[in-house]
Structure 1
Amino acid sequence: MATAEDSRTGGQEGTDDSPGWLDRVRATPAGRLTLRIVIGVIGTALVVTGLIMVPFPGPGWLVVFAGLAVLATEFPWASRLLEFAKDRVRAATDWLKRQNWFVRIVASALTLLCAAAIVWVSVRLTLGVDLVQKARELLS
């Protein structure tokens, strides 16, 4: 049965000290630079895409964190930023868990209200459609 170690070593069993493909790429200056550029482009694209998605319903922050995780494989600053962001999210989540049900409901309502306002403004500015007016027309 193939393991993760086998895939890194090219399937050679019993060669624990043989380098994986990333180590072989990093062994040359051109390989290191190419890898950093590719990781930088992919990670940055994920972070930017995630930030664009943040105001809309969906996995915006998840994509931002995924992009930071990709960047953190090559860049120490991204690793520090990812840890800082994870700590802030944990702190906010822990704080919200300690609150009573009323505070949780108010926080959820404010979050939904902000998301709805962002979607309304975005649709109005990009498509020229007023969703509130359309809803009123459908209801009357």
Structure 2
Amino acid sequence: MNDHPQDKRPEGWLSRHHKHGVRPWRRTRLSFLRWRGTITANPHTARLYRMIVGGLGTLIVLIGLLLVPLPGPGWLIVIIGLFIISSEFRWAQRILHFVRVNVEKWTHWIMAQPLWVRWTVGAVTAAFVAVVVWAVFKIIGIPDWVPELEVLRYLDLQ
């Protein structure tokens, strides 16, 4: 056996943490887990905590669902709300698993399609977003800071 390996560690070297210190989030995570343990020790506070997490997650999911038809991260906000709810509720974990599996299936399916199908799906999605944006501006009006443009008169927005 080789007595002098090339990657021989210095004397007293234990791990990466020994050399570089504790990871920054580890202390925070351990503090949260200790705090969570004290919460679950009392059934009343555990129930209150579940209600708060459920209410906050539901609020975030509802905001995300309102933002889905608009351009932006609507579905991402819904999934973040589901992550929050799933930390306490098994049914939300099942929904999150269903979403994850189906998004993965959709991704694999769309990437297996010919280029013209992918471009068509992208164009239809862009057209849908454009119609939604037009409808929102038609309903609430164009903000005052937007300059007067000929295209906005053509789209009957000014």
Shorter-normalised TM range: 0.7 to 0.9
Give the partner amino acid of 2:27: D
Q: 1:97 to 1:27 in 2, by over 3 A?
A: same
Deviation at residue 30 of structure 1 after TM alignment: 1.4
Query: In structure 2, do the counterparts of structure 1 residues 42 and 95 end up closer, same or farther at CA, with 3 Å as the change threshold?
Result: same
CA distance in 1, matches of 2:29, 2:76: 27
In percent, how many aligned pairs have the same letter?
32
Are the aligned partners of 1:50 and 1:61 in contact in 2 as well (CA < 8 Å)? yes
Where in structure 2 are the equivalents of 1:1-140 lying within 5 Å?
1-3=21-23, 4-10=25-31, 20-127=34-141, 134-136=152-154
Pick the structure with greater CA Rg: 2
- CA 1:62–1:132 in structure 2 vs 1: closer, same or farther (change >3 Å)? farther
Q: Deviations over 1:111-140 (max 9, x none)?
A: 0001111111122123389x9972428xxx
Greater shift after overlay, 72-81 or 120-129?
Answer: 120-129
1:1-60 deviation per Cα after TM superposition (whole angstroms, max 9, x unaligned): 4444533544xxxxxxxx611011011011111111110111011101111111111111
> What runs of 5+ residues in structure 1 fail to find an aligned partner?
11-18
TM-score, normalised relative to structure 1 = 0.81
- State the one-letter code of the partner of 1:6: R
Aligned length: 129
Letter in 1 for 2:128: C
State the partner residue of 2:5: none
CA distance in 2, matches of 1:115, 1:89: 20
Q: Is the partner of 2:72 in helix, strand or coil?
A: coil
Q: Which has the higher helix share?
A: 1
Distance 2:150 2:40 in 1: 56
**Which ranges of 4 or more aligned residues in structure 1 deviate by more than 3 Å?**
1-10
> Root-mean-square deviation (CA), in Å?
2.6
Q: For each residue in 1:66-124, what CA deviation from the matched residue of structure 2 results, as whole angstroms up to 9, or x when unmatched? A: 00000000010000001101111111111000011100100000000011111111221
